């Protein structure tokens, strides 16, 4: 008795009828970026340089750096109600080398971030990072300090978050960019261990900028019809405002709590 088993001896013709695997060809396409109109970054640059010129002029005319005396982060003065000292240090600098290094870093990170964050959100990022850095500095070091590096470290943190959250857009280059950002932050924090450098301010600015970018930074997607594509930010305005309020309140509470402990 012969028993027939299905597909035991398949017909060669049937094998030839099988469909070959489909190969999808991939290619890079051009995506239109937002215009590079970085007037906020250049305004911060101009105002900071102007303030430093006033510092130099004050020292030349009076023998004292009056802007620094009125605006540096001095814990005792902040405890006496001079709360503007949690903001004004980011406009002040101690030497030409100090301001040159910080303004170079501002031009390195600022325009690119402003292109994607937009003018208002970038300004909030800068100011909030500087404020956060000065609050953390006030909490952990009694030394007076000044400089925009608190805000600059916030930009570094925001750049890292922006690349990480949009790594699907940037592709393979995102990993290399993240390694570079982390390396820059680590090297500068290591340099900040040197005497006379307010590393707590750097850490606070880094944390503040990272927090804001994580909850309010651009979330990009590609939109359009081939061959014209553009990047669309999916982050809602309400999310940005909420992040700004909550993060600002967090650091305000830290500052108030610190001042209260000092008063006991």
Q: What is the mean pLDDT of each run of 10 residues along the chain (264 residues)?
A: 49 55 56 77 98 98 97 98 98 97 97 96 99 99 97 98 94 91 95 94 98 97 77 94 98 98 94
What is the pLDDT at residue 149? 98
Give the Cβ contact number of residue 200 at 10 Å. 21
- Is residue 10 situated within a structural domain? no
What is the pLDDT at residue 230? 82
Q: What is the pTM of this model?
A: 0.87
Which CATH number do you get for residue 221? 1.20.1540.10
The structural domain count of the chain equals 1
Q: Which domain holds residue 115?
A: 29-263
Q: Which residues of 77-116 are buried (b: 16+ CB within 10 A; e: fewer)?
A: bbeeeeeebbebbbbbbbeeebbebbbebbeebbbbbbbb
- Is residue 4 situated within a structural domain? no
Residues with a known catalytic role: 149, 202
């Amino acid at each position: 008795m012969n028993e027939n088993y299905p597909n035991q001896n398949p017909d060669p013709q049937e094998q030839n009828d099988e469909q070959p695997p489909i190969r999808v060809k991939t290619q890079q396409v051009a995506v239109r970026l937002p215009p590079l109109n970085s007037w906020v970054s250049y305004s911060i640059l101009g105002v900071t340089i102007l303030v430093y010129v006033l510092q130099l002029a004050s020292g030349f005319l009076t023998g004292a750096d009056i802007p620094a005396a009125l605006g540096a982060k001095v814990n005792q003065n902040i405890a006496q109600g001079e709360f503007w000292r949690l903001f004004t240090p980011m406009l002040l600098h101690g030497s030409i080398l100090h301001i040159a290094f910080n303004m170079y870093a501002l031009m390195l990170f600022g325009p690119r971030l402003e292109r994607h964050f937009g003018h208002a959100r970038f300004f909030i990022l800068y100011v909030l990072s500087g404020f956060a850095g000065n609050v953390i500095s006030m909490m952990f070091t009694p030394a007076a300090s000044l400089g925009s590096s608190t805000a600059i470290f916030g930009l570094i943190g925001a750049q890292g978050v922006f690349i990480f959250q949009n790594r699907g857009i940037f592709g393979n280059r995102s990993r290399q960019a993240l390694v570079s950002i982390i390396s820059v932050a680590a090297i500068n924090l290591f340099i900040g261990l040197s005497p006379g450098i307010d590393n707590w301010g750097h850490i606070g600015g880094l944390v503040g900028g990272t927090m804001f970018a994580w909850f309010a930074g651009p979330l990009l997607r590609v939109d359009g019809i081939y061959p014209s594509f553009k990047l669309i930010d999916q982050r809602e305005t309400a999310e940005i405002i909420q992040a700004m309020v909550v993060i600002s309140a967090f650091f305000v509470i830290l500052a108030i709590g610190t001042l209260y402990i000092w008063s006991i």
